[in-house]
Chains A and B, each alone.
Chain A
């Protein structure tokens, strides 16, 4: 053999064996998580102590992880998917990638927050709210309904993040409650009125620093910002729509077990753990995510408006659907 070829082959063999040297441990659980990494770390540590099962976590942005799971298909190494938003789980369910959860797991959480077909369970929820800049919105009267924000007097005063995962359920909710025509008209109004941001974090920060008067966000971004900046850094407050208005929608985050799970038993244990009082306490007290724990009887972080005082619109996951129509409507309105 020519020395060069031999060298090349040796080199290639070394590189490949380097790559293969660290195969995934079959005994441990593999979690794909789009939840906040710091919170997931706390949960995983606690679960490992309680169950003796070791967990390996791949973290990422929800939509990217779902795209990755779909690209992996049957070859996916993942056992559990812990979503940041329910549409991610609906999409996986739609591709028949999730397996049915046992009744005991599902029963822990009120049924309206779970998958209608029982393939995933709700873990936490957050409320859709309006973040309001103290100075810029001083003379404005707050809208009674989310739909009012499409009116001309809000032109240039509103911030939205139409491509954020939290926005799609809002569009679906407006569709479910008011019909397609009204939803399309509302979106066109928003297009004329709003400054577009890429995500909720951007909206919250922009309203707080005084770039724009009000913004549609999920409540916990504001709570997070308050922890980060301290009271002296906050120049904004939250306005809750309430009264069953579509604007007070609850966004649910949950978890499901993949059909292709290698360690289905441990996977079911982990998802069941997420809905247990122990895990829900960790979530409520983490001081990182500021979402509402969905297990009845667990009090959320004190900075949040009590869960019982929220007045979300009368919708369940079945009515809300899988958001498949939301994106085309956003495109048609020129928002996406």
Chain B
């Protein structure tokens, strides 16, 4: 059906546009990183060695490596197991488990760390860090893996089963290899987010390269030491990204090629074992959701009589802060998805070295703490586009740079699922390029793009560092209000803001799940070949 062969001038022109757009996005993403490299390069080599060879660095490196490896592994296992059980086994209250698996993402890590530390001091340091990050980040594996599980071709499995493969061997020999790209992609995001985590480690007294970068700003007021440590983080991030690339390339031969038939894969009957799985899910939710949130609720009620009085809390302030948060969240999510489109499209339609390289550049940003990115943007903006400095647009751009990797996963798979045959058909029927995008591609990819937007929204409303540095002067959001109160230890005053923020996060998580579920429903409705009984639970 390829009426537009690649060789025609128009197609080449189209492709040129695509590359140019993707390249432009990449340059914007990389600009704060270039500032870091430039700053580090300017410092004296002896100074560089001093920063990286001081006594503390060995323990920082060990801590960083330990927490990255163990969090990634834990999230990989948790995400994979919970995705498999919630997608591929028949459980009571089937719709609940995916929601409970993703909801911990809506609890900011500084909140859950505070809750755990106030429960027991034994949770300081490594055990607490693993607990908090394992809970917060396993949804990053759960989401892509469950999407991939839904997209698998059931025919292969059925063939294997009829050929005598048991369910366990079928999982390890057939399903797991097919899940590898999604699993590895999710684990990479976990690893990079752990590298740049700050809020949780501060409260848990766990020192890594990232906490040291913040300390460097405090002790020296100077970005050179921070830039030098950031280079170490960048190298670590590059190493992780390279590792994932290698493993993924080995796995690529398993990726499904034919996308002709689509129907929901069968769900396994577990018999009485299903209650064991339900118990497991409930126990996990107790640890990831119930305990931290109820501890926090308890502490928020344990304040003195005078706690609220010194600070103003009015309905107007609450409303204004919520409105700013929602506005920034929506606009930032829209911009992030918009910027993710050319890259995602390139990856979906023209995969290759160039596209893969560009994707990796976007991922690099995820491994560097927000303060470094935000300060890098200050420098870039003042030197390149001074008129935009501290404008709302620059703040939105900062959000896009920080959260594009999160959006990328959904955007890419949404565009992959919007079949290129239909796009070609639309072109052959006379639709222009932009018409094809508006009338064919975007409607088909809408649920996936919506899911990406919800994820970015969630991240933006809880973001603090870039918001404080880059927002138009006088902007007050829920996150900045919570910071303003908690930095004066006015936890009681922060409570109403924290409550609204948690509700907002929960709603966007719910929306995220709804859109991802909707994706599956649309697909089932479209091909109409549902297995009997399967429609009931989707």
Contacts and interface: CB of A to CB of B under 8 A. Distances in A.
B223 A196 contact: no
A60 B484 CA distance: 9
Chain A contact residues: helix, strand, loop or mixed: helix
Q: Which of B379, B386, B434, B489 has the most CB of A within 10 A?
A: B489
Interface string B447-487: 00000000000000000010011001110000010001101
A244 interface: no
Interface string A30-41: 100000111001
Contacts of A335: 56
Contacts of B538: none
A334 B17 contact: no
Interface stretch (B129-137, B184-192, B275-283, B298-306): B298-306
Q: Which of B214, B335, B487, B492 has the most CB of A within 10 A?
A: B487
Contacts of A118: none
A59 B483 CA distance: 10
Closest 6 CB pairs of A and B: A230-B304, A19-B393, A163-B215, A334-B55, A37-B484, A327-B219
Contacts of A57: 473-474
Contact of B310 (A7, A61, A199, A227): A227
B378 A71 contact: yes
Contacts of B389: 72, 75, 77
Interface stretch (A178-186, A274-282, A286-294): A286-294
Contacts, number: 188
Chain B contact residues: helix, strand, loop or mixed: helix
Contact of A36 (B205, B218, B488): B488
A225 interface: yes
A37 B477 CA distance: 13
A229 B304 CA distance: 4
B430 interface: no
A211 B215 contact: no
B44 interface: no
A75 B472 CA distance: 16
Contact of B488 (A88, A195, A209, A288): A288
A71 B222 CA distance: 9
Nearest to B474: A56
B305 A230 contact: yes
A225 B218 CA distance: 23
B391 A20 contact: yes
B391 A228 contact: no
A67 B223 contact: yes
B62 to A, nearest CB: 13
Contact of B311 (A30, A64, A87, A288): A288
Interface of B: 17, 50, 54-56, 118, 121, 124, 202-203, 205, 207, 211-212, 214-215, 217-223, 226, 302-307, 309-312, 335, 371, 375, 378-379, 382, 386-394, 432-434, 465, 468-469, 472-474, 480, 484-485, 487-492
B222 A336 contact: no
B375 A36 contact: no
Q: Which of A63, A91, A165, A287 has the most CB of B within 10 A?
A: A63
B473 A164 contact: no
Contacts of B312: 38, 41
B221 A60 contact: no
B221 A71 contact: no
A63 to B, nearest CB: 4
Given A230-B304, A326-B219, 6 more contacts: A41-B312, A59-B480, A61-B468, A224-B489, A287-B309, A288-B488
Contact of B211 (A18, A198, A287): A198
14 contacts: A22-B391, A59-B484, A64-B371, A64-B375, A64-B468, A67-B223, A67-B226, A71-B378, A77-B390, A87-B221, A198-B202, A227-B304, A229-B304, A335-B56
Contact of B434 (A4, A226, A288): A4
Contact of A67 (B222, B472, B488): B222
Nearest to B303: A228
Contacts of B484: 36-38, 59
Nearest to B392: A19
A200 B68 CA distance: 27
Contacts of A67: 217, 221-223, 226, 375
Contacts of B310: 38, 227, 286-288
A24 interface: yes
Contacts of A143: none
A68 interface: yes
B219 A163 contact: yes
B192 to A, nearest CB: 22
Contacts of A71: 223, 375, 378-379, 382
Contact of B394 (A19, A221, A326, A330): A19
Nearest to A55: B474
Given A59-B468, A71-B223, A196-B205, A3 B378 contact: no
Contacts of A18: 392-393
A273 B10 CA distance: 67
A87 B391 CA distance: 30
Given A75-B389, A202-B205, A229 B219 contact: no
A206 B489 CA distance: 13
Given A229-B303, A230-B305, A4 B433 contact: yes
A51 B513 CA distance: 53
A63 B217 contact: yes
Given A19-B394, A20-B391, A36-B487, A228 B492 contact: yes
A197 to B, nearest CB: 6
A24 to B, nearest CB: 6
Nearest to A56: B473
